[in-house]
Amino acid sequence: MIVQSNPHAVRTISTLVSVGVVVLLAIGCERTPIATAAEQNARPLVVCTTTMIADLARQIGGDRIQVVCVMPPGTDPHIYEPRPADSVVFGKAALVLYNGLHLEGKMLQIIENAGARAVALAEDERIKVRESTSAKGAPDPHCWWNAKYFMVFAERARDALIRVDANGADAYRSATATYLQQLERADADVRRMLERTPTEQRFLITSHDAFYYFGEAYGLKVDAVLGISTDASVRALRPDELARLVINHRIPAIFHETSVSQQLNDFVDRVVEIVRRSGHDVHVPSEPLYSDSLGLPGTPAETYIGALRENARIIASALSVRTATAASSQPMGADGGQ
């Protein structure tokens, strides 16, 4: 579990919860981050499920709130199971901010227990949710990678914070207005970066299907080894089909992700093997994409905006390369999927 109160003063803090007492320990920070009991009581405790949402809460709440992020960077939210310590923290929360749309599949009970104190940031009519293609499937929860949708998250978080701390309303409104401007700029920058990618190579193939909204917003066709959850075999893994897609569209690169299992990234490597066995080329960039989690503290991807920009940079760079074999290759069979 990661706790970060003020991002400017505190980098990383781990929380140990025992017998209902929250003990804060600093790891590699410049200033002691240990909050006194009085400070903790004075500042509303905002419990966030994912790193994206915790960053959002810190951007808007600043010093007025104490943010606890349940899942550390690199955690897969589809399969994260709450620990006893999480129940303690949820119980103390003035506000719980979570994604919703079944992203936190195994946390539903603990979130429901928080009742009206819990707000699902993605569940808003302004967000056009992609429904599952299978009858039993859940909707696609990964809407945060469209920065315009993350702006909706920000407005919902602001309103929720004002409800629990009305005295801070002006501060929350002001911080949100500033943050929305930053999101607008990031959104425009990412669009520009990806527009430079050759149109015919704007295919994003990843470990699991976390980038539909990103692709929709920034002009990429998206496919993945696995469906929208890493938790279940929503559809069969299909490296052969993806290999055909890579070859037929001369896609120069496909991608690993930071927050999925090694097994899923291995499936991406199987696609690479199949493509290469067919006499074509494709590569996997050494930098994986940030899908369901931000990067580690101290890296450019430690914030949502940083991770969005990093993803765009990695994708634009990798897809702008044309391999010699791809340029002269012949299509193979029918496309899968797209």
Q: Which is nearer to Zn ion, 197 or 258 (CB)?
A: 258
Do the Cβ atoms of 24 and 35 come closer than 8 Å? Answer: yes
**Beta-carbon contacts of residue 179 (< 8 Å; ≥ 6 apart):** 56, 59, 60, 154
Please state the closest distance from residue 80 (CB atom) to Zn ion, in A.
11
What minimum distance in Å lies between the beta carbon of 297 and Zn ion? 22
**Do 105 and 231 touch, CB atoms closer than 8 A?**
yes
Residues 6+ apart with CB under 8 A from 154: 56, 59, 60, 176, 179, 180, 183
- Give me 60's structure tokens: 């808007």
Are 308 and 147 contacting, i.e. CB atoms less than 8 angstroms apart? yes
DSSP 63: G
Nearest CB to Zn ion, comparing residues 146 and 197: 146
Smallest gap from Cβ 322 to Zn ion, in A, equals 30
Other residues' Cβ atoms within 10 Å of the Cβ of residue 200: 10
Q: What are phi and psi of 283, to 5 degrees?
A: -130, 160
Minimum distance from CB of 231 to Zn ion (Å)?
9
Instruction: Find where tokens 């993945």 sit.
Output: 224
Between 24 and 225, whose beta carbon lies closer to Zn ion? 225
Q: Which residue number, 140 or 302, has a Cβ lying nearer to Zn ion?
A: 140
In the complex, the smallest distance separating the C-beta of residue 136 from Zn ion, rounded to whole angstroms, is 17
Q: Which residue, 24 or 52, has its beta carbon nearer to Zn ion?
A: 52
Q: Which is nearer to Zn ion, 203 or 211 (CB)?
A: 211
DSSP class of residue 199 equals: G
Where is 271: in which H helix or E strand? helix 262-277
Q: Find the shortest distance in angstroms from Cβ 268 to Zn ion.
A: 15
Helix 51-61 and helix 304-319, axial crossing angle in degrees, nearest 10: 130
Q: Which of 30, 31, 34, 67 is nearest to 52 (CA)?
A: 67
Q: Which residues are near Zn ion by CB under 5 A?
A: 210, 292
Q: Which CB, 175 or 225, lies closer to Zn ion? A: 225
The minimum distance between CB 141 and Zn ion, in angstroms, equals 7
Sequence-separated (6 or more) residues with CB below 8 Å from residue 256 = 206, 207, 265, 268, 284, 285, 288, 289
